[in-house]
Amino acid sequence: MAEEAIEAAPPVTRKKMSGKKLVLFILLPLLLFGGGGAAAWFLLFQGAETPEGEHAAEEVPEHPPVYFDMEELTVNLAATGKRNAYLKLKLTLELGKPEDQEVLPNVLPRVEDSFQVYLRGVRVEDLQGSDGLQRLREELLMRAQKAAAPAEVKDILFKVVQVQ
Choosing among 3.30.479.30, 3.40.50.620, 3.40.1390.20, 3.30.70.1350, the CATH entry for 66-163 is 3.30.479.30
pLDDT at position 143, please? 93
What is the per-residue pLDDT for 59? Answer: 59
- What pLDDT score was predicted for residue 94? 93
pLDDT single digits (tens) 98-136: 898 999 999 999 999 999 999 999 988 888 888 999 999
The answer to whether the predicted template modeling score (pTM) of the entire model surpasses 0.75 is: no
The chain-wide mean pLDDT, for the chain, equals 82
Split at pLDDT 50, 70, 90, the class of 2 is low
For the chain, the first-to-last Cα distance in angstroms comes to 110
For residues 90 and 51, which has the higher predicted lDDT (pLDDT)? 90
For residues 28 and 26, give the distance between their C-alpha atoms in angstroms, rounded to a whole number. 6
* Spatial separation of the C-alpha atoms in residues 122 and 108, rounded to whole Å: 21
Tell me what pLDDT residue 17 has.
64
Report domain extents, the chain.
2-56, 66-163
Q: What is the pLDDT of residue 45?
A: 80
- Please report which confidence band the pLDDT of residue 7 belongs to, taking 50, 70 and 90 as the band edges: low
Q: What is the mean pLDDT of residues 37-47?
A: 80
pLDDT over 80 at 83, yes or no: yes
Helix (H, G, I), strand (E, B) or coil at 108: helix
